[in-house]
Structure 1
């Protein structure tokens, strides 16, 4: 039996996001976010669920830190809710919001856990959306001011910073596909939003450097891996376009200061142009200390005229599926991170999210035997070791998610947690996957 092992300094962690777990949506001066508006709009979220209470982590953060400590993680990735700091997006700082995150950070540090903070995990203040949101370049400066306040408040306490989580979701999923807040369906708008978010990222990196903040800063992109179904030029090109939609469109500007020209041309053929102003690309490509990658799935695609935006249809090859109907494709993790390393060099990589959604049953003994989720983690951990053995600078892994939580447009129907949340009592119950990961962390490996 093969032994899977990891370097001694490998960072094991788990992750959450503010709107998904905190609740307390009207407490201590918090303003409304676009997700409050979206989830309170009938028909936008499964069962008309919302994040008003969520996991109530705003009041139960100490319980959650205790779960993290018991798990044995070195780091915890969470996000700060912009509307808690600036209820109207700009203006006066809400000191009660800062005080809450100070308590969370201090509790983590006291438990020996490093906080890894995401500045923007989708909860844009509604007041800014009312002025155009990320389509309005003024939002860039509002974000930079918000970031500056957070950098100054937590300099020395937080050593790892992520500017944005999944800019593809913020832009295309939310403003072209329309599945997430604010729910628009406009390709040009989505292209604008993607570009402005990336400029905001670059401006935040600039201010981080100017302030001399301790620690490291990067960003997180959600990458997937779509293989061409055949060697035909049509299939190769179709799969590449679809892959570039989530991958190159965001990675090329981040690392090389340019958009892939074939994608610029393709979007232009669909009526959308990138709103680049002088200096934008230099700003976007500010040197970062690490890149975060969220990976969940992949598959195979082939050419089919007028199929979606890219003339590409996905072909099912008998993959196992999660409850999200996503392919279980561990080899895709190896392929996509190998590609990142080959294409963009030796920048350290963290898997900032990876995990699986399955239907969970809480037993009478308050146990959850999530065999499929545990197997999912096991398979992806093996790919992590393959990557490290292959020379890819993979430095850490954050499991998604610590808790079952508000799963965006899926509401509370879909569970990703390694800890079961009873939404009636808000009690937490570690699942078998939690104990598996605990054991992996304790031994820095496992028998495959």
Structure 2
């Protein structure tokens, strides 16, 4: 890795990790008129904003194909709690969140939304919403406290109850094997920098498949490997909290290898479908200059093609490898046969879409659209259409599912016991419309999971941001359906936006 590449990667990570108050300088809409960050946030979530749609629930008359499945998504560390119960071991996120200064307000996932104890009533809530599919994750340290060895039966029993409860309520389970909660014992021996951890993941996957197998019709392997790389090993604002570009892209390779090993483990043991879960960001040049086009292509390589190409084409993008350099830890870490494992045939690809990037000739990015409470998130529904159609165009008709899409709003429980979040309704409506347009353009999109079902522990942001369809009052753990949930209930019932 050249000094220039190392500096550029760290600069990008630093920009993404900058506090919201520092990062929100201005937002440039396509008309070129600068608006303040405050008005950008207002446009996203405030019903009194002049830019807000006065009737976000209006029908667009867009009917989805028969059999299209509507759902919601969560992850284990963000909702389960019960951090030290029934044999669960410590994860890197337990360690990270308990380290002073790592999370907002010192928040941890020790209790989260207490889903471990409230799973049955939460499933009833899903049934009331009409969900057809539910995407959740399995906690590796709940199944293997130290990341190796015999599976913890109490942990497996929890997920068996959850899966059986979903099926009893006619909700299709979609399970993710890894959503960032690596057992701390494996981090102590190098974490994802250690190639052996990818093989331990394959063993863990095999244990889970043996226990749950075909009871779960759809499995996802690694959730957002790019986020582990960029936030955990470049920016340092996610667990394990490192800033080391050389380690980061070796980690990227080992995560992709772990994915392939899990795919092979499923093929050997169960009759179910499996694929990766990638957060994909469409990359656009800020102008038509050759320099901006070249910078955008490389940016797209790091953001998207590094992950898509290796799984769907069996090769890493040449421009990214050249940029990292032949001496980089990643390039040196690729062994014979690795890419054959990584590209083991998958049944679907899970797409998670939140924001576009606009890339300048320097390789830095600019903000072009209103942002949400998450300062890094630009509200641009057409980016979802572009992402979905790009996959079909570039990689063929692999079945797709959207497994995360949503935004945070400053939701407040009203005196009348309701939560009014019209900004979230407008956001989801416009993204659903983009997905519908992609289907009409020939994209084989099967399902859509809103992020998130519940307000929860939002990683480094703690409990400050609320992303859920369902409001959680953390002191009492009382659940309240927001306006967006009631609206979504109708969308599901009618299969129409």
Deviations 1:75-123 (A, max 9, x none): 1000000101110111222111011111111111111111100000000
Deviation, 1:272, is 5.3
Q: TM-score, normalised by structure 2?
A: 0.86
Question: Aligned pair 1:226/2:283, yes or no?
Answer: yes
Matched residue, 1:307: none
SS at match of 1:12: strand
Q: Which of the numbers 114, 128, 137 marks the counterpart of 1:79?
A: 137
8 Å CA contact 1:172–1:194 kept in 2: the answer is: no
Matched residue, 1:357: 408
Distance 1:417 1:143 in 2: 30
Deviation, 1:270, is 9.8
- Going from structure 1 to structure 2, the CA distance change for 1:273 and 1:196 (only over 3 Å counts) comes to closer
Deviation, 1:144, is 1.0
8 Å CA contact 2:81–2:112 kept in 1: the answer is: yes
1:187-336 equivalence runs, <5 A: 187-211=245-269, 213-268=270-325, 273-274=330-331, 275-304=333-362, 312-317=363-368, 319-325=369-375, 326-336=377-387
Moved over 6 A (4+): none
Question: Aligned pair 1:348/2:399, yes or no?
Answer: yes
Deviation, 1:240, is 2.0
Question: Aligned pair 1:434/2:482, yes or no?
Answer: no
Matched residue, 1:308: none
Deviation, 1:73, is 1.1
Q: Which of the numbers 95, 98, 104 marks the counterpart of 1:40?
A: 98
8 Å CA contact 2:301–2:319 kept in 1: the answer is: no
8 Å CA contact 1:299–1:329 kept in 2: the answer is: no
Matched residue, 1:372: 423
Structure 2 unmatched ranges of 5 or more: 1-58
Structure 1 unmatched ranges of 5 or more: 305-311
Q: Which of the numbers 108, 123, 137 marks the counterpart of 2:181?
A: 123
1:129-140 equivalence runs, <5 A: 129-140=187-198
Matched residue, 1:425: 476
Question: Aligned pair 1:110/2:160, yes or no?
Answer: no
Distance 1:330 1:244 in 2: 22
Deviations 1:224-246 (A, max 9, x none): 11211111011111122222212
Deviations 1:159-207 (A, max 9, x none): 1000110010122221112111001111111111110111111111112
Q: TM-score, normalised by structure 1?
A: 0.96
Deviations 1:381-422 (A, max 9, x none): 000110000001111100000000000011000111010111
Distance 1:230 1:162 in 2: 37
Q: Which of the numbers 195, 208, 215 marks the counterpart of 1:150?
A: 208
Q: Which of the numbers 385, 388, 392 marks the counterpart of 2:439?
A: 388
Number of aligned residue pairs = 437
8 Å CA contact 1:321–1:328 kept in 2: the answer is: yes
Distance 1:391 1:35 in 2: 40
SS at match of 2:467: coil
Deviation, 1:268, is 1.9
Deviations 1:39-89 (A, max 9, x none): 000001011100000000000001110111011111100000010111011
SS at match of 1:119: strand
8 Å CA contact 1:353–1:399 kept in 2: the answer is: yes
SS at match of 2:412: coil
Q: Cα RMSD between the aligned structures?
A: 1.2
